[in-house]
Amino acid sequence: MAGKKRSVNGQVKAQPRPQSTPEDIVMTDATQPCGQRPPPSSKTTSTPKTATESTISNPNPAPTPEKEVKALPPTSKPAPKSRKPTNRKKKPKLPKNASISTRPLLHPALPTQHSSSSSPKVIYITATTPYIPCVKRVRKLFVGITKREKQSAASLGSRAGGAARGGQHSVKALEANGRLEAKHVERNVAEEASKKGGARKVGEMVYLKATGRAIPRALEIGLHFQADESYRVRVELGSAKAIDDIEVKSGATEQEQQAEGKADDDIPETRIRTLSSVTVSIGLV
């Protein structure tokens, strides 16, 4: 056994290990023709290494740290709601020998120009209502409304003037002496509020009502008055229900009667139809 070299202090020196000759490695996998390494090029300084060469040069590669994948919370989006109603059912189809006759919509009697303010001024618009005559009719109703407002204001002024001249139950005559009546106090409070403008009464309105195909004509008339600064216009949407009659023809042949005999028993006498409606309210500013 060869002696070991020691230092001055008596410690054993580390000796370099002899280099081992590389052993021949047998290629176990056959390289495909298309997977051969390309010939070296004069332009490139380094040649790419294949997977086998990288394994030979580094038999124990260091494990690459795996990236931690954070679990994202599931994004639950609400299902889009359909605009169409789901509970809407189509009406059954009528046989060939049945027809529908529409009824006119019921409404109260039309008010006149000289009717009191308690009765609403309503004009019913149809698809064939002329434009200019309807505008003139609305203006005529406002003339009567203005006259009634002037008359009511004059009557209130005459009552207030008579009370001031007589000195009975006037605003200044009321004193907190414990003998005041409720009606006198309420009247004086209302008079003071009307003078200050706090109890401004809303004037009468003219209403234009239309359904179905007559809605565009009612809106056109409303736009005409909206362009005038002395009028205020408000539009309200709604719906109305109409009753339609179902008529069955009796002039059918025997074959048609036999084929449609069962269907005649299920035919209703009336049907309810829903219409879109609009109300245009026009008033003075």
Do 144 and 114 touch, CB atoms closer than 8 A?
Answer: yes
Q: Report the alpha-carbon distance of residue 283 to residue 268 in Å, rounded.
A: 44
CA angle 273, 277, 281 (to 5 degrees): 155
122, exposed or middle or buried, with CB in 10 Å at 0-12, 13-18, 19+? middle
In this prediction, residue 91 carries a pLDDT of 78
In this prediction, residue 13 carries a pLDDT of 78
Domain boundaries, the chain: 98-153+201-251+266-284
The string of pLDDT tens digits covering residues 59-80 is: 565 555 555 555 555 566 666 6
Dihedral in degrees, nearest 10, Cα atoms 140, 144, 150, 153: -140
In this prediction, residue 175 carries a pLDDT of 67
- 98-153+201-251+266-284 CATH pick, 2.60.40.10, 1.10.3210.10, 3.40.50.360, 3.30.110.20: 3.30.110.20
Q: Report the alpha-carbon distance of residue 240 to residue 126 in Å, rounded.
A: 15
CA angle 199, 201, 204 (to 5 degrees): 175
Between the two ends of the chain, the Cα-to-Cα distance in Å is 126
In this prediction, residue 199 carries a pLDDT of 41
In this prediction, residue 169 carries a pLDDT of 46
What are the angstrom distances between the C-alpha of 235 and each of 8, 135, 283? 113, 17, 12
Paired with 230 in beta bridges are none
Kindly give, in sequence order, each residue whose CB lies less than 8 Å from that of residue 251, ignoring residues fewer than 6 positions away. none
Regions of the chain with pLDDT less than 50: 167-172, 198-200
In this prediction, residue 225 carries a pLDDT of 96
